[in-house]
């Protein structure tokens, strides 16, 4: 009886080895098939530039430090203004990445709301910033 059990174990081991061999072959086939199917997609994605990707996903342009001086606009400018309430001179950051012509920001000294009006040229460069009281 022992010899039969040993024969069964050896046969069972052979079946396990055969199943394992089939599984490895199947995985290799699947990997090759997936690689072949993904290759055109990899090429398409690799050929996109950053502005195309931004446009595809509806993203705003990203400002990379060190760029923007040669032909591209800076994303923000710091502009000195005078508070229309307390008369204090302060410097404010004007965000040039948004298309809003006006925005509201509190005075850094008296904490009252100031409406900022932003004027730009056709290229998006900052022309002027106006301030007024919100009464």
| pTM for this predicted structure | 0.46
Q: Is the dihedral of CA 74, 80, 85, 88 positive or negative?
A: positive
pLDDT confidence of residue 7: 47
Residue (of 98, 92, 88, 95) closest to 79 by Cα position = 92
CB-CB neighbours of 43 under 10 Å: 9
pLDDT digits (tens, 9 = 90+) for 30-74: 556 666 777 787 777 777 777 777 777 777 766 555 554 445 567
- Please compute the mean of the pLDDT values over residues 15-36 and round it to a whole number: 64
Query: If DSSP codes are grouped into helix, strand and coil, which group holds residue 104?
Result: strand
- For residue 85, the tally of other CB atoms under 10 A from its CB is 17
pLDDT for position 85: 95
Confidence of residue 8 (pLDDT cuts 50, 70, 90): very low
- 113-120/102-106 β-pairing: antiparallel
């Amino acid at each position: 009886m022992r010899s039969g059990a040993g024969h069964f174990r050896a046969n069972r081991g052979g079946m396990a080895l055969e199943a394992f061999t089939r599984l490895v072959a199947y995985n290799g086939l699947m990997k090759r098939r997936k690689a072949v199917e993904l290759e055109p997609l990899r090429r398409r994605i690799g050929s996109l530039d950053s502005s195309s990707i931004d446009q595809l996903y509806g993203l705003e342009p990203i400002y990379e430090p060190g760029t923007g001086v040669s032909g591209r606009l800076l994303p923000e400018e710091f502009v000195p203004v005078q508070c229309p309430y307390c008369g204090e001179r302060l410097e404010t950051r004007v965000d040039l990445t948004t298309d809003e012509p006006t925005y509201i920001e509190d005075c850094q000294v008296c904490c009252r709301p100031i409406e900022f009006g932003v004027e730009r040229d056709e290229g998006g460069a900052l022309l002027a910033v106006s301030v007024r009281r919100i009464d």
